[in-house]
Amino acid sequence: MSAQFPVARPRRLRRTPALRRLVAETRLSPADLILPMFVKEGITEPQPVPSMPGVFQHTRDSLRKAAHEAAEAGVGGVILFGVPAAKDGTGSAADDPDGIVQLALRDLNADLGDATVIMTDLCLDEYTDHGHCGVLTASGEIDNDATLERYASIAVAQAEAGAAVVGPSGMMDGQVAAIREALDGAGHPDVAIMAYSAKYASAYYGPFRDAAECAPQFGDRSTHQQDPANADEALREVFLDLDEGADMVMVKPAGAYLDVVRRVRDAVEVPVLAYQVSGEYAMIEAAAEKGWIDRDRTIMESLLSIRRAGADIALTYWATEVARKLRTS
């Protein structure tokens, strides 16, 4: 820049709401948002998640209603997490054709068709009695390669029930390749893979484990999820997933890892997603309930920051609410 004050006055472009809107560098639209949803087997009424005000474990019927509302608001997609009535060591409900997620997929496809993108989380922690993301060895360690066989089977079950996109979130080595091979071999080459490529071993997931009833019964997930200290490692994981056939890549959580979002965005030519996780949601809701922050402004600012850092798409529990506001603003 050559002009200096008093000729240069950047405040000129901030003077009115219309001017600020005109020159905004980052924008949100409903299509940029994905709504995570929980569907639980064996309940007759939606169950509130105490640590996530406004979020529910849905029945099949209440899920259909909430998904319809999201699609009507223009939300880009919904992603399903299942809570089965019975769990076991291998998570057998995860690939049961009559498992809760597969039933919900059929419901939503019948109701919504192509009105929104219907996606699934692909992991085992919601389905195992031990709460870990994979099959365990006799000594209690996760058996990476045996787990890949389970992920492959789950991917096919979800695709056959109507998932347009599957999202492997277990952070097992080789998971994307195993899933891509299984999908292609079962006649589902058009089902996309949204890889949870940089999923960190984060303290921000606490409320999610209430919603999905998947807290580990022992230990933690630090042997497979990424160390919060590492950013270069995230790029390695991203490139490995792309080499294995991922169509999209994700950073999770979003808010504390915006530097990683930016580095991934600068490095790849596929859609980049960021997951605004349960802890981020719960903290804003709790502070707003106390009157310490302006809830609506904080929600919008948090999502704009995710987009500004480079994410093309944000997964957020406020997706429907925000989409409605965007369409009326």
Q: Which of 40, 65, 87, 252 is catalytic?
A: 252
Q: How far is CA 119 from CA 195, 265, 286, in A?
A: 12, 22, 29
Annotated binding site for Mg(2+): 237
3-state secondary structure of 82: strand
Whether 65 is catalytic? no
**Binding region:** 209, 221, 237, 278, 317
CA distance 89 to 241: 27
CA proximity to 168, closest of 152, 186, 185, 184: 152
The three-state secondary structure class of 168 is strand
Q: How many Å apart are CA 231 and CA 257, to the nearest integer?
A: 9
87 is catalytic: no
Question: Is beta strand 313-315 parallel, antiparallel or unpaired with respect to 33-40?
Answer: parallel
Distance, CA of 41 to CA of 60 (rounded, Å): 8
Q: What residues contact 147, with CB distance under 8 A and at least 6 apart?
A: 124, 133, 134, 135, 170, 172, 175
Single out the catalytic residue among 40, 87, 199, 325.
199
Q: Please identify every residue annotated as catalytic.
A: 199, 252
